[in-house]
């Protein structure tokens, strides 16, 4: 269930971003720029509302959601699987953000810092402008047929990638003409497609303070999250060898140095180790290594990913705008290389990879 929640959250933000891009393609009476200017005319204040919507993936997986939002930025979101087997509730009361999942009986609580507070109080226009950089250079906009969503008039904006060098595929959104709230959206990325559509919206709801109190069972596992706890822990070569056994590591040279090794707790307790390298004292790239997991479902490959050969093995290369990576499997381990320095080319990193040494 987690993957669809994450996809939905990212998708909503991308829809805001796409809606502001000023492109020249036209389909219908108005250009995208004219539609956006009209839609944003009165969208300068945060919204207060109660809404219900449904998210559906291409394979029929469904999540039903209810949300309560105040102008001050308080929010309650309840997301339940279509069969009713699991409920996740998130509450932002203005001072802390709490999330409880019934399936795992776990809760996470974090303080609402100034950045999160400012984000939750943004108007639709401010939200859009803040995220515009993600897609402004990668997609073309067009205007689709206007239609009513949950009884409200909407603009229909369609965003198509200009080329394959992007992580974000085709996006569509239906924007409320009065509030500029996205009432329906369609996202197609990484071999997945998902639709989110409101079935009920009330912009004059009765919202009481008790909605922003999250009841967590006494036997639940509670994790307190802060900025420090979210950072990966530094570790040692001995700990890497203890967890992974034998593995391959990039050699240091006169100008390439291993800066640090960090560890994160991954899926189902799997530890993921990251080797961060510096070249001439500047961040160059990182190499993540972790054990392969059996029965992991693949959700497809983006158009920005191409097959390649790494160390004589099948691998993939991704060269999307702002994101470059290499990955392959070797002797039961997964290796993922992220290129951080834009001045370093794939060929240079591939040369380092070919000379990796076995550490036992």
Instruction: Find the distance separating the first CA and the last CA of the chain, reported in whole Å.
Output: 37
Last residue of one domain, picked from the residues 197, 225, 253: 225
Tokens read off for 272:
């993921």
* 110 and 83 share one domain: yes
Residues 243 and 270: beta-carbon distance below 8 Å: no
* 250 and 221 share one domain: no
* pLDDT for 67: 93
CA pair distance 39, 19, nearest whole angstrom: 9
* 27 and 92 share one domain: yes
Query: Phi/psi of residue 197, each to 5°?
Result: -145, 130
* 263 and 220 share one domain: no
**DSSP H or E segment with residue 347:** helix 346-354
* 219 and 245 share one domain: no
Number of independent structural domains in the chain: 2
* 47 and 68 share one domain: yes
CA pair distance 82, 65, nearest whole angstrom: 10
User: Which residues, in sequence order, are CB contacts of 313 under 8 Å at separation 6+?
Assistant: 328, 329, 330
For residue 341, what is the domain's CATH number?
3.30.200.100
For residue 212, what is the domain's CATH number?
2.50.20.10
* 71 and 213 share one domain: yes
Containing structural domain, residue 31:
2-225
Query: Phi/psi of residue 111, each to 5°?
Result: -75, 145
CA pair distance 356, 324, nearest whole angstrom: 20
* pLDDT for 131: 47
* 296 and 211 share one domain: no
How many other C-beta atoms lie within 10 A of the C-beta of residue 99?
19
* pLDDT for 334: 93
Name 139's bridge partners: 161
* 301 and 339 share one domain: yes
User: Which residues, in sequence order, are CB contacts of 171 under 8 Å at separation 6+?
Assistant: 11, 14, 15, 18, 139, 158, 159, 185, 186, 187, 188
* 203 and 83 share one domain: yes
* 50 and 108 share one domain: yes
Tokens read off for 324:
């470059």
Query: Phi/psi of residue 212, each to 5°?
Result: -105, 25
Q: What is the pLDDT along the chain (360 residues), one digit of tens a residue?
A: 333 333 333 333 333 333 333 333 333 344 555 555 555 555 566 788 999 999 998 877 889 999 999 988 889 999 998 777 788 998 998 888 899 999 889 998 988 776 666 666 665 555 555 545 556 677 777 888 888 999 999 888 888 888 766 677 788 888 888 887 889 988 887 667 889 999 999 999 999 999 999 999 999 998 887 766 666 788 999 999 999 999 999 999 999 999 999 998 765 567 899 999 999 999 999 999 999 876 544 444 555 678 999 999 999 998 876 688 999 999 999 999 999 998 999 999 999 999 999 998
Strands 192-202 and 49-57: antiparallel
Last residue of one domain, picked from the residues 225, 253, 270: 225
Last residue of one domain, picked from the residues 174, 191, 225: 225
* pLDDT for 28: 39
User: Could you please report the per-residue DSSP string of 168-207?
Assistant: ---EEEEEETTT--EEEEEEEETTEEEEEEEEEEESS---
* 27 and 176 share one domain: yes
* pLDDT for 24: 31
């Amino acid at each position: 269930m987690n993957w669809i929640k994450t996809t939905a959250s990212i998708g909503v933000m991308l829809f805001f971003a796409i809606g502001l891009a000023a492109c020249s393609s036209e389909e219908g009476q108005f250009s995208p720029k004219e539609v956006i200017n009209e839609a944003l005319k009165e969208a300068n204040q945060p919204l207060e509302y109660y809404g219900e919507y449904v998210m559906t993936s291409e394979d029929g997986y469904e999540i039903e959601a209810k949300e309560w939002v105040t102008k001050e930025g308080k929010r309650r979101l309840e997301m339940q699987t279509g069969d009713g087997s699991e409920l996740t509730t998130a509450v932002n009361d203005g001072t802390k953000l709490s999330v409880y999942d019934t399936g795992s009986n776990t809760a996470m609580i974090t303080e609402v810092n100034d950045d999160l507070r400012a984000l939750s109080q943004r108007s639709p226009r401010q939200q859009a402008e803040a995220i515009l950089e993600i897609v402004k250079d990668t997609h073309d906009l067009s205007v689709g047929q206007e239609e009513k969503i949950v009884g409200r008039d909407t603009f229909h904006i369609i965003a198509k990638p200009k080329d394959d060098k992007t992580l974000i595929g085709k996006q569509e959104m239906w924007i409320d003409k009065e509030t500029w709230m996205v009432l329906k959206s369609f996202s197609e990325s990484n071999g997945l497609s998902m639709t989110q559509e409101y079935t009920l919206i009330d912009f004059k709801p009765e919202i009481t303070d008790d909605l922003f109190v999250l009841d967590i069972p006494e036997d639940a596992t509670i994790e307190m999250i802060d900025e420090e706890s979210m950072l990966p822990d530094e570790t040692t070569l001995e700990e890497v060898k203890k967890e992974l056994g034998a593995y391959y590591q990039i050699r240091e040279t006169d100008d390439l140095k291993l800066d640090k090794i960090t560890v994160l707790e991954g899926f189902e307790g799997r530890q993921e180790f990251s080797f961060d390298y510096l070249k001439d004292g500047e961040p160059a790239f990182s190499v993540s290594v972790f054990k392969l997991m059996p029965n992991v479902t693949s959700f497809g490959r983006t158009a920005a990913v191409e097959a390649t050969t790494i160390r004589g093995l099948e691998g993939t290369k991704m060269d999307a705008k702002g994101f470059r990576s290499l990955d392959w499997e070797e002797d039961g381990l997964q290796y993922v290389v992220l290129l951080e320095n834009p001045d370093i080319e794939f060929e240079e990193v591939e040369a380092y990879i070919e000379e990796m040494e076995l550490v036992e």
